[in-house]
Amino acid sequence: MTDAATAAAAGTIAIGDLTVNRLGFGSMRLTGKGVWGPPDDHKESIRVLRRAVELGVNFIDTADSYGPYVAEELIREALHPYADDVVIATKAGLLRTGPDVWVPLGNPSYLRQEVETSLRRLGVDRIDLHQLHRIDPNFPLEDQVGELAKLQQEGKIRHIGLSEVDVDQLTAAQKVAPIVSVQNLYNLSTRTAEPLLEEAEKQGIAFIPWFPLAAGPLAEADGPLGSLASDHGASPSQLALAWLLKRSPVIVPIPGTSRVDHLEPNVAAAGIELTEEEFNAIDAATAGT
Protein backbone atom coordinates (compact mmCIF):
# COMPACT_ATOMS: atom_id res chain seq x y z
CA MET A 1 0.00 0.00 0.00
CA THR A 2 1.41 3.39 -0.94
CA ASP A 3 1.53 6.26 1.55
CA ALA A 4 -1.04 8.27 -0.39
CA ALA A 5 -3.51 5.37 -0.26
CA THR A 6 -3.07 4.43 3.39
CA ALA A 7 -5.86 6.49 4.98
CA ALA A 8 -7.98 6.01 1.86
CA ALA A 9 -8.21 2.30 2.69
CA ALA A 10 -10.92 3.23 5.19
CA GLY A 11 -13.16 4.48 2.40
CA THR A 12 -14.71 7.91 2.11
CA ILE A 13 -17.63 9.87 3.48
CA ALA A 14 -19.43 13.01 2.35
CA ILE A 15 -19.54 15.88 4.85
CA GLY A 16 -21.94 18.20 3.12
CA ASP A 17 -20.49 18.65 -0.35
CA LEU A 18 -16.99 17.66 0.81
CA THR A 19 -15.60 14.14 0.51
CA VAL A 20 -12.92 12.95 2.93
CA ASN A 21 -11.22 9.71 3.86
CA ARG A 22 -12.89 8.13 6.88
CA LEU A 23 -9.77 8.05 9.04
CA GLY A 24 -8.93 11.60 10.11
CA PHE A 25 -6.62 13.28 12.59
CA GLY A 26 -7.45 15.09 15.83
CA SER A 27 -5.08 17.90 16.77
CA MET A 28 -5.76 18.28 20.50
CA ARG A 29 -2.72 16.24 21.55
CA LEU A 30 -0.37 18.55 19.64
CA THR A 31 -0.60 21.11 22.46
CA GLY A 32 1.00 21.25 25.90
CA LYS A 33 0.03 19.43 29.08
CA GLY A 34 -3.60 19.99 29.98
CA VAL A 35 -4.22 21.03 26.34
CA TRP A 36 -2.57 24.29 27.38
CA GLY A 37 0.27 26.14 25.71
CA PRO A 38 2.72 25.04 23.03
CA PRO A 39 3.87 21.46 22.45
CA ASP A 40 6.97 20.07 24.12
CA ASP A 41 8.42 19.33 20.70
CA HIS A 42 7.35 21.90 18.12
CA LYS A 43 9.24 20.31 15.23
CA GLU A 44 7.70 16.91 15.90
CA SER A 45 4.20 18.40 15.92
CA ILE A 46 4.84 19.90 12.49
CA ARG A 47 6.20 16.57 11.30
CA VAL A 48 3.06 14.78 12.56
CA LEU A 49 0.74 17.07 10.61
CA ARG A 50 2.75 16.82 7.40
CA ARG A 51 3.15 13.07 7.72
CA ALA A 52 -0.59 12.66 8.29
CA VAL A 53 -1.33 14.34 4.96
CA GLU A 54 1.39 12.28 3.26
CA LEU A 55 -0.42 9.19 4.54
CA GLY A 56 -3.67 10.26 2.92
CA VAL A 57 -5.34 11.89 5.91
CA ASN A 58 -7.43 14.73 4.50
CA PHE A 59 -9.77 15.48 7.43
CA ILE A 60 -8.11 17.36 10.28
CA ASP A 61 -10.11 18.29 13.37
CA THR A 62 -9.10 21.16 15.62
CA ALA A 63 -10.59 23.87 17.85
CA ASP A 64 -9.87 27.41 18.98
CA SER A 65 -9.65 26.07 22.55
CA TYR A 66 -6.75 23.68 21.90
CA GLY A 67 -3.89 25.61 23.43
CA PRO A 68 -5.90 27.85 23.21
CA TYR A 69 -5.21 28.77 19.58
CA VAL A 70 -2.00 26.72 19.44
CA ALA A 71 -3.33 23.81 17.37
CA GLU A 72 -4.82 26.07 14.70
CA GLU A 73 -1.53 27.95 14.42
CA LEU A 74 0.43 24.69 14.09
CA ILE A 75 -1.90 23.48 11.35
CA ARG A 76 -1.35 26.65 9.36
CA GLU A 77 2.41 26.51 9.84
CA ALA A 78 2.59 22.88 8.75
CA LEU A 79 0.06 22.71 5.94
CA HIS A 80 -0.77 26.15 4.51
CA PRO A 81 -1.45 26.57 1.64
CA TYR A 82 -3.71 23.55 2.02
CA ALA A 83 -4.03 20.85 -0.62
CA ASP A 84 -7.34 21.03 -2.46
CA ASP A 85 -8.67 17.85 -0.84
CA VAL A 86 -7.69 18.72 2.76
CA VAL A 87 -10.64 19.65 4.97
CA ILE A 88 -9.96 21.57 8.18
CA ALA A 89 -12.71 21.41 10.81
CA THR A 90 -12.55 23.69 13.83
CA LYS A 91 -14.79 24.55 16.78
CA ALA A 92 -15.75 27.33 19.17
CA GLY A 93 -17.86 27.45 22.30
CA LEU A 94 -15.45 26.58 25.11
CA LEU A 95 -13.54 29.24 27.05
CA ARG A 96 -10.12 28.28 28.41
CA THR A 97 -8.98 29.78 31.71
CA GLY A 98 -6.20 27.32 32.52
CA PRO A 99 -4.86 23.79 31.94
CA ASP A 100 -7.65 21.18 31.79
CA VAL A 101 -10.29 23.87 32.39
CA TRP A 102 -13.13 24.06 29.86
CA VAL A 103 -16.00 26.52 30.34
CA PRO A 104 -18.93 26.55 27.88
CA LEU A 105 -19.48 30.00 26.40
CA GLY A 106 -22.13 30.31 23.73
CA ASN A 107 -22.64 34.05 23.69
CA PRO A 108 -23.33 34.70 19.99
CA SER A 109 -20.90 37.62 19.96
CA TYR A 110 -18.17 35.39 21.37
CA LEU A 111 -18.86 32.70 18.78
CA ARG A 112 -18.62 35.29 16.01
CA GLN A 113 -15.34 36.61 17.42
CA GLU A 114 -13.85 33.13 17.54
CA VAL A 115 -14.91 32.29 13.99
CA GLU A 116 -13.30 35.52 12.76
CA THR A 117 -10.05 34.81 14.58
CA SER A 118 -10.01 31.15 13.50
CA LEU A 119 -10.21 32.34 9.90
CA ARG A 120 -7.07 34.42 10.46
CA ARG A 121 -5.18 31.76 12.38
CA LEU A 122 -5.92 29.08 9.79
CA GLY A 123 -5.27 31.47 6.90
CA VAL A 124 -8.54 30.83 5.09
CA ASP A 125 -11.47 32.89 3.84
CA ARG A 126 -14.00 30.22 4.77
CA ILE A 127 -13.95 27.44 7.37
CA ASP A 128 -14.83 24.07 5.81
CA LEU A 129 -16.63 22.74 8.89
CA HIS A 130 -17.30 24.77 12.00
CA GLN A 131 -18.63 22.91 15.00
CA LEU A 132 -20.33 24.32 18.09
CA HIS A 133 -18.03 22.83 20.71
CA ARG A 134 -20.66 22.78 23.44
CA ILE A 135 -24.20 24.05 23.81
CA ASP A 136 -24.11 26.69 26.55
CA PRO A 137 -27.24 26.37 28.74
CA ASN A 138 -27.05 30.10 29.50
CA PHE A 139 -28.02 31.03 25.93
CA PRO A 140 -30.80 29.67 23.71
CA LEU A 141 -29.58 26.94 21.40
CA GLU A 142 -31.33 28.76 18.57
CA ASP A 143 -29.17 31.85 19.17
CA GLN A 144 -25.92 29.87 19.23
CA VAL A 145 -26.61 27.85 16.10
CA GLY A 146 -28.29 30.89 14.57
CA GLU A 147 -25.09 32.93 14.82
CA LEU A 148 -23.18 30.20 13.02
CA ALA A 149 -25.93 30.18 10.39
CA LYS A 150 -25.46 33.93 9.90
CA LEU A 151 -21.73 33.40 9.45
CA GLN A 152 -22.51 30.66 6.96
CA GLN A 153 -24.75 33.04 5.01
CA GLU A 154 -21.89 35.56 5.03
CA GLY A 155 -19.62 32.97 3.40
CA LYS A 156 -17.32 32.54 6.42
CA ILE A 157 -18.48 29.00 7.25
CA ARG A 158 -19.12 26.31 4.67
CA HIS A 159 -20.80 23.71 6.88
CA ILE A 160 -22.01 23.55 10.50
CA GLY A 161 -21.54 20.70 12.97
CA LEU A 162 -22.28 20.05 16.65
CA SER A 163 -20.29 18.52 19.49
CA GLU A 164 -21.53 16.66 22.58
CA VAL A 165 -25.24 16.75 21.85
CA ASP A 166 -28.16 14.35 22.12
CA VAL A 167 -30.77 13.50 19.50
CA ASP A 168 -33.22 16.14 20.75
CA GLN A 169 -30.57 18.86 20.55
CA LEU A 170 -29.60 17.76 17.06
CA THR A 171 -33.24 17.96 16.01
CA ALA A 172 -33.63 21.43 17.54
CA ALA A 173 -30.47 22.68 15.84
CA GLN A 174 -31.61 21.34 12.48
CA LYS A 175 -34.63 23.62 12.68
CA VAL A 176 -32.19 26.56 12.62
CA ALA A 177 -29.56 25.41 10.11
CA PRO A 178 -28.44 22.32 8.17
CA ILE A 179 -26.17 20.17 10.35
CA VAL A 180 -23.69 17.92 8.53
CA SER A 181 -21.83 16.34 11.46
CA VAL A 182 -21.96 15.49 15.15
CA GLN A 183 -18.96 14.85 17.39
CA ASN A 184 -19.38 12.99 20.68
CA LEU A 185 -17.30 10.88 23.03
CA TYR A 186 -17.54 7.33 21.70
CA ASN A 187 -15.23 4.33 21.74
CA LEU A 188 -15.20 0.66 22.66
CA SER A 189 -15.60 1.35 26.37
CA THR A 190 -17.90 4.41 26.20
CA ARG A 191 -21.00 3.98 24.05
CA THR A 192 -23.53 6.31 25.65
CA ALA A 193 -23.80 8.19 22.34
CA GLU A 194 -25.25 5.12 20.61
CA PRO A 195 -28.68 6.77 20.04
CA LEU A 196 -27.01 9.76 18.40
CA LEU A 197 -24.88 7.48 16.23
CA GLU A 198 -28.00 5.63 15.11
CA GLU A 199 -29.69 8.93 14.26
CA ALA A 200 -26.62 10.14 12.35
CA GLU A 201 -26.57 6.89 10.40
CA LYS A 202 -30.28 7.22 9.65
CA GLN A 203 -29.76 10.74 8.31
CA GLY A 204 -26.45 10.01 6.61
CA ILE A 205 -24.51 12.69 8.50
CA ALA A 206 -20.96 12.23 9.79
CA PHE A 207 -20.43 10.97 13.33
CA ILE A 208 -16.98 11.98 14.58
CA PRO A 209 -16.03 10.09 17.77
CA TRP A 210 -13.61 12.02 19.94
CA PHE A 211 -11.26 10.00 22.12
CA PRO A 212 -11.72 7.09 19.70
CA LEU A 213 -8.97 4.95 21.20
CA ALA A 214 -10.06 3.01 24.27
CA ALA A 215 -7.52 3.87 26.93
CA GLY A 216 -6.50 1.99 30.03
CA PRO A 217 -6.94 -1.75 30.55
CA LEU A 218 -8.71 -2.31 27.23
CA ALA A 219 -5.57 -1.45 25.29
CA GLU A 220 -3.15 -3.36 27.51
CA ALA A 221 -1.52 -6.49 26.14
CA ASP A 222 -3.36 -8.64 28.70
CA GLY A 223 -6.64 -6.75 28.35
CA PRO A 224 -9.79 -7.79 26.45
CA LEU A 225 -8.24 -6.82 23.11
CA GLY A 226 -4.85 -8.37 23.77
CA SER A 227 -5.32 -11.89 22.46
CA LEU A 228 -7.55 -10.74 19.61
CA ALA A 229 -4.91 -8.23 18.53
CA SER A 230 -2.18 -10.85 18.69
CA ASP A 231 -4.20 -13.25 16.57
CA HIS A 232 -4.79 -10.49 14.01
CA GLY A 233 -1.19 -9.30 13.90
CA ALA A 234 -2.24 -5.83 15.03
CA SER A 235 -2.13 -3.68 18.15
CA PRO A 236 -5.13 -3.25 20.50
CA SER A 237 -5.36 0.41 19.46
CA GLN A 238 -5.48 -0.56 15.79
CA LEU A 239 -8.30 -3.00 16.49
CA ALA A 240 -10.19 -0.31 18.40
CA LEU A 241 -10.02 1.93 15.33
CA ALA A 242 -10.89 -0.91 12.96
CA TRP A 243 -13.93 -1.71 15.12
CA LEU A 244 -15.12 1.90 14.87
CA LEU A 245 -14.68 1.94 11.10
CA LYS A 246 -16.74 -1.23 10.74
CA ARG A 247 -19.34 -0.19 13.31
CA SER A 248 -20.94 2.33 10.95
CA PRO A 249 -20.21 3.85 7.55
CA VAL A 250 -20.83 7.34 8.96
CA ILE A 251 -18.13 7.10 11.64
CA VAL A 252 -15.00 9.21 11.08
CA PRO A 253 -12.41 8.39 13.78
CA ILE A 254 -9.90 11.16 14.52
CA PRO A 255 -7.12 9.58 16.58
CA GLY A 256 -4.63 12.18 17.72
CA THR A 257 -0.98 12.03 18.72
CA SER A 258 2.07 14.25 18.99
CA ARG A 259 4.48 11.64 17.60
CA VAL A 260 4.99 10.28 14.11
CA ASP A 261 5.76 6.80 15.45
CA HIS A 262 2.25 6.69 16.93
CA LEU A 263 0.59 8.35 13.95
CA GLU A 264 1.73 5.78 11.41
CA PRO A 265 0.22 2.68 13.10
CA ASN A 266 -2.97 4.65 13.80
CA VAL A 267 -3.38 5.44 10.11
CA ALA A 268 -2.44 1.89 9.16
CA ALA A 269 -5.55 0.74 11.03
CA ALA A 270 -7.53 1.99 8.01
CA GLY A 271 -6.31 -1.07 6.15
CA ILE A 272 -7.52 -3.59 8.74
CA GLU A 273 -10.69 -5.30 7.58
CA LEU A 274 -12.45 -7.14 10.39
CA THR A 275 -14.67 -10.08 9.61
CA GLU A 276 -18.13 -10.16 11.18
CA GLU A 277 -16.84 -12.80 13.58
CA GLU A 278 -13.90 -10.62 14.63
CA PHE A 279 -16.10 -7.54 14.96
CA ASN A 280 -18.56 -9.44 17.16
CA ALA A 281 -15.76 -10.91 19.27
CA ILE A 282 -14.32 -7.44 19.96
CA ASP A 283 -17.79 -6.11 20.66
CA ALA A 284 -18.53 -8.89 23.13
CA ALA A 285 -15.14 -8.68 24.83
CA THR A 286 -15.47 -4.95 25.51
CA ALA A 287 -19.21 -4.43 26.06
CA GLY A 288 -19.92 -2.95 29.46
CA THR A 289 -16.26 -2.26 30.24
Residue ranges per structural domain of the chain: 3-213+248-257
Nearest residue to 233 via CA among 189, 274, 286: 274
Q: Which of the residues 66, 69, 82, 186 is marked catalytic? A: 66
pLDDT in tens, the chain (289 residues): 445 459 999 999 999 999 999 999 999 999 999 999 999 999 999 999 999 999 999 999 999 999 999 999 999 999 999 999 999 999 999 999 999 999 999 999 999 999 999 999 999 999 999 999 999 999 999 999 999 999 999 999 999 999 999 999 999 999 999 999 999 999 988 999 999 999 999 999 999 999 988 655 666 667 667 777 877 788 888 999 999 999 999 999 999 999 999 999 999 999 999 999 989 988 887 776 5
Residue 217 pLDDT? 63
Q: Are strands 206-210 and 103-104 parallel, antiparallel or unpaired?
A: unpaired
Q: Strands 206-210, 181-185: parallel, antiparallel or unpaired by DSSP? A: parallel
Secondary structure class of 25 (helix, strand, coil): strand
* CATH code of domain 3-213+248-257: 3.20.20.100
User: What are the Cα distances from residue 288, in Å, to 186, 189, 192, 248, 283?
Assistant: 13, 7, 11, 19, 10
Q: Quote the pLDDT of residue 289.
A: 56
Cβ atoms 103, 138 nearer than 8 A: no
* CA 278 distance to own-chain centroid: 25
Residue 202, pLDDT score: 98
CA distances to 21, 85, 95, 213, 250 from 205, rounded to whole Å, are: 14, 19, 27, 22, 7
What does pTM read for this prediction? 0.95
Residues 59 and 82: beta-carbon distance below 8 Å? no
Query: CA torsion sign, 50 to 52 to 53 to 58?
Result: negative
Residue 66 among the catalytic residues: yes
By DSSP bridging, strand 94-95 and strand 103-104 are antiparallel
State whether residue 208 is helix, strand or coil.
strand
Q: Which of 204, 243, 244, 167 is nearest to 15 (CA)?
A: 204
Give the whole-angstrom CA distance, residue 62 versus residue 80: 15
